[in-house]
Structure 1
Amino acid sequence: MKVKMILPALTEALSPFWRPIKYHLFPPLGLATIAAFFDEDDEIELQDEHVEPLNLNTDPDLVILQVYITSAYRAYQLADYYRQRGSYVVLGGLHVTALPEEALQYADTIFLGPGEDTWPQFLADFRGGTPQKIYRSQERTLVGVPPIRRDLIKRHLYLVPNSIVVSRGCPHHCDFCYKDAFYQPGKSFYTQPVDDALAEIEKLPGKHLYFLDDHLFGHEAFASALFEGMKGMGRVWQAAATVQSILQPGLLEKAVECGLRSLFVGFETLDFNNLKEQHKYHNLNRDYSLAIKRLHDHGVMVNSSFVFGMDEDDETVFDRTVDWAISQGIETATFHILTPYPGTPLYQRMVEQGRILTNNWDLYDTRHVVYRPSKLSIETLEAGYWNAYRNFYRWSSIFQGAWVKSEWSDRLRHLVYAGAWKKCEPIWDILIRLKQVNHLLPALESVLMGFNQSSEHSFEPSSNLPQKQVT
């Protein structure tokens, strides 16, 4: 059987004028995970349109498209194209699960929720000539799931080819998050067996890892055992966690000991009432500054996330947030305009309040206002969002944030990391077009490790690990 798997690109990633580095950071693993369920003699081609042009001059038996909200129209266009050519087309992913009736107009079969339990059944039905229109995930487990088909991933097209996921979902329930809609019904947070996760890590070449898990620290016992097992592997890695888990004694220390050097943290808002409204209870009454200090004291850089446009936000929220982030010495920040994704409690609440302004999914990219804000005009909210990026990533702001640190090595690491992320975008664009972005992985590793400065946070690679590879 000939199979074509496609991750359609978001519109911005296809621009002939500008190619943002964020789409070339690491390979998404959803399709490669599904590919593991096929037979060895099936002919599979996997393409991520964010990093390479699609080869459309083929006639596969089966076409699989993973759909995000801002790639939905592109996915539907590709689905129509392949159905007209006689291929059987299936759609899955976050947007399909949120709006199945919409997706069904463009697909022969759709998948709702994660696919570990539904794909084996679909493949048996498809080979038998009796595929169903809808497959809905019911059983949630990663026990016995076959290894990801990493041989299908074009590693050289990504800065960090060693992406990995060892859990699914998140234990928390924020109103603006897709997670609960995607995992209904059934468990919305579960992990691999620790031994399976460690075995996968052992097989990955090189040194650097990027955990794509929504919340790697979300299951304390699992995370603790994982970090214990990773000790001595010589890894340097990045991941995401919550303020609550960072403040928890012991777990952060174990993570640092086995190579954690950068952490994505969803602060989202500095306003107590905003946190309550969005049901982000795990951030309530948490000392953000103490969490940042704990990370910095352990040599871990902070990539913070903030959301503008919640109901308590007024025109002062942008400067207040940026000034606070700079004063804390946060290395990098991502800013977002509040976006009510279909299927979320936030979207439903805004529909009931008559606040949704458009269902043009291309605009649901956290850079456009698609709802009626409470205390801000649409123009003020969008302008404030862009100004936040400009103000945070000014050289004067980068230097100010770096000088919060007392050690010169930490200041230098801050300058290089933040500067490379936002001040070197033209260079990234050139490297992306030349397909050379992966060659900067050793430089990234050096920055993460503090330029190999010996300190209480440094570690030596295990002598029995494979030599570092960059392709």
Structure 2
Amino acid sequence: MILPALTEAESPFWRPIKYSLFPPLGLATLAAYLSPDDEIDLQDQHVEKVNLNDTPDLVVIQVYITNAYRAYAFADHYRARGIYVVLGGLHVTSLPEEAAPHADTIFLGPGEETFPEFLKDFKARRPKKQYASAVRSLVNIPPIRRDLIKRHLYLVPNSIVVTRGCPHHCDFCYKDAFFEGGKTFYTQVVDDALAEIDRLPGRHLYFLDDHLLGNAKFASALFEGMKGMNRVFQSAATVDSILRGDLIEQAADAGLRSLFVGFETFSPQNLRQSNKKQNLQKDYRKAVDRLHALGIMINGSFVFGLDDDDRDVFKRTVDWGVENGITTSTYHVLTPYPGTALYANMKREDRITTSNWDLYDTRHVVYKTKKLSAGELEEGYHWAYKEFYTWSNITRASLTHDSAKHTLKHFLYSGGWKKFEPLWNFVIKSKNLGTMLPLLESILSKVKNSGAISQEPEARIEEPESRSQEPEAIQKKLKATPSTQGVTKEVTTSLALPAEILSVK
């Protein structure tokens, strides 16, 4: 089972630590459907060299848009030697006609149902050319094959996914394309999720769910069950779920210490254009204050290049993040992924400028922009990252908190993430990432500021004041074309990548 490296892995902006965070959980999930007697090799090209000279009975590759070309090259290499290859994942589901010539079998959508069906057919020597997910359920799924994960190669080996999909339908998100034809959001049985958590060593967890708070009943029961486990965890949620009810307080009591929040844009027009209705008329500042009152650090996500964005958007966004004590910011250039509503709209308007999937990495402009030129958009994107993570802005953002402990946590987390690249590279190369986990757990230790902010706050997105100052101005292609995001030797439960059987790679 293989997860090919993303194209970004060979770019000038490659950060080894960013791609050494999480193991290929999807592939390890699908591997659980294989027989205990099968010999399985799970390889992640982000952290190790892929062995292409083996002769397995089956090769399973997970494909994302920016590792697609590399994934196809791997697949073609094995098929030329008579080895059976299956492809699955986001990109395969979005463009099955592109992927099919490179595989003996392709998987569309999540793999919990289709992969075991394929394995049965494969062993009976009558596999189909294509398997499409229809039934969506996480009931009675087998435990993830974590024994296949090389834990010492990852900073966060305890990653976990207890839901699939998201209840929202943003136009720029892959979710609707991947889950087309069935349920687009569903959860594990709470007891099964708790059992999986209980099997994980140490304290730290990272929930890779798109929206852990998406089903309030499930999340509430999960957090209640986690009380007393002495866990600290990180996850993702939406602004509206932070402001609604007391679920975020329950999460904090269970150990939530850091949250990825999709703010995306301050423009109501951009939100409407993107069908991100859940953020409309929501007060971002109140959401931030509520999280900070609970001692929860924030990783804010922002998208540049929506049609209402002008040249001031970069400075406004950075200033807002610093002034509101956002611990880390993740910036993206708007990217119209195939299969999304955004892609369909731009294709219809003749705005797509390239189908080189290597450039669909949220760093490059691949469409005709409106108020910004492509050059201004890419320059502003890079300026925003550089400016937000200056020592002066890290310090300013840290000092917005009410307690000295939260200030110190913010400073260490933000500075450590962006300012110590040589140290991270040394630790990664020496294969000692695991030694950094106690430090991460310490930084994520509990801290509360003044008091909880009232729920159901005033509904309003507050547009930051405009500032006049403008931002200043692979193995190279592996015997193949550019790559798509992540072909894996592992298959995420959501992805339709099968695991290698018998001798599976």
TM-score range, shorter chain: over 0.9
Q: What are the equivalent positions in structure 2 for 1:409-424 lying under 5 Å apart? A: 409-424=405-420
Tell me the alpha carbon deviations over residues 163-206 of structure 1, each in whole angstroms, 9 at most, x when there is no partner: 00000000000000000000010100000000000011111110
Match of 1:231 in 2: 227
Q: Pairwise CA RMSD of aligned residues? A: 1.4
Matched, 1:205 2:191: no
In the alignment, residue 229 of structure 2 is paired with which amino acid? M
Q: Residue 249 of structure 1: which of 245, 252, 256 is its match?
A: 245
Q: Distance in 2 between matches of 1:406 and 1:147?
A: 42
Match of 1:221 in 2: 217
Match of 2:497 in 1: none
Q: Residue 180 of structure 1: which of 176, 182, 193 is its match?
A: 176
Q: Distance in 2 between matches of 1:454 and 1:53?
A: 43
User: Does the aligned pair in 1 maintain the 2:211–2:238 contact within 8 Å?
Assistant: yes
Match of 1:35 in 2: 31
Q: Distance in 2 between matches of 1:296 and 1:331?
A: 10
Q: What are the equivalent positions in structure 2 for 1:312-331 lying under 5 Å apart? A: 312-331=308-327
Deviates more, 1:165-174 or 1:244-253: 244-253
Match of 2:378 in 1: 382
Matched, 1:144 2:140: yes
Is the partner of 2:263 in helix, strand or coil? strand
Q: What are the equivalent positions in structure 2 for 1:114-193 lying under 5 Å apart? A: 114-193=110-189
Match of 2:20 in 1: 24
User: Does the aligned pair in 2 maintain the 1:207–1:236 contact within 8 Å?
Assistant: yes
User: Shift of residue 22 of structure 1?
Assistant: 1.0
Distance change >3 Å, CA 186–CA 17, structure 1 → 2: closer
User: Shift of residue 28 of structure 1?
Assistant: 2.8
Q: What are the equivalent positions in structure 2 for 1:65-80 lying under 5 Å apart? A: 65-80=61-76
Matched, 1:101 2:97: yes
Is the partner of 2:66 in helix, strand or coil? helix
User: Shift of residue 56 of structure 1?
Assistant: 1.6
User: Does the aligned pair in 2 maintain the 1:90–1:107 contact within 8 Å?
Assistant: yes
Q: TM-score scaled by structure 1? A: 0.94
User: Does the aligned pair in 2 maintain the 1:18–1:429 contact within 8 Å?
Assistant: no
Q: Distance in 2 between matches of 1:184 and 1:405?
A: 43
Is the partner of 1:95 in helix, strand or coil? helix
In the alignment, residue 160 of structure 1 is paired with which amino acid? V
User: Does the aligned pair in 1 maintain the 2:295–2:448 contact within 8 Å?
Assistant: no
In the alignment, residue 428 of structure 1 is paired with which amino acid? W
In the alignment, residue 74 of structure 2 is paired with which amino acid? L
Is the partner of 2:332 in helix, strand or coil? strand
User: Shift of residue 454 of structure 1?
Assistant: 9.2
User: Shift of residue 209 of structure 1?
Assistant: 0.3
Distance change >3 Å, CA 336–CA 17, structure 1 → 2: closer
Q: 5+ residue gaps in structure 2?
A: 452-505
Deviates more, 1:12-21 or 1:84-93: 12-21
Is the partner of 2:102 in helix, strand or coil? coil
User: Shift of residue 63 of structure 1?
Assistant: 0.3
Matched, 1:272 2:248: no
User: Shift of residue 15 of structure 1?
Assistant: 6.5
Q: Residue 293 of structure 2: which of 285, 297, 301 is its match?
A: 297
User: Does the aligned pair in 1 maintain the 2:32–2:145 contact within 8 Å?
Assistant: yes
Structure having greater relative contact order (Cα 8 Å, sep ≥ 6): 2
Q: TM-score scaled by structure 2? A: 0.88
Is the partner of 1:102 in helix, strand or coil? helix
User: Does the aligned pair in 1 maintain the 2:292–2:449 contact within 8 Å?
Assistant: no
Matched, 1:10 2:6: yes
Deviates more, 1:223-232 or 1:53-62: 53-62
User: Shift of residue 249 of structure 1?
Assistant: 2.2
Match of 1:462 in 2: none
Q: Distance in 2 between matches of 1:444 and 1:331?
A: 14
In the alignment, residue 167 of structure 1 is paired with which amino acid? T
In the alignment, residue 424 of structure 1 is paired with which amino acid? F
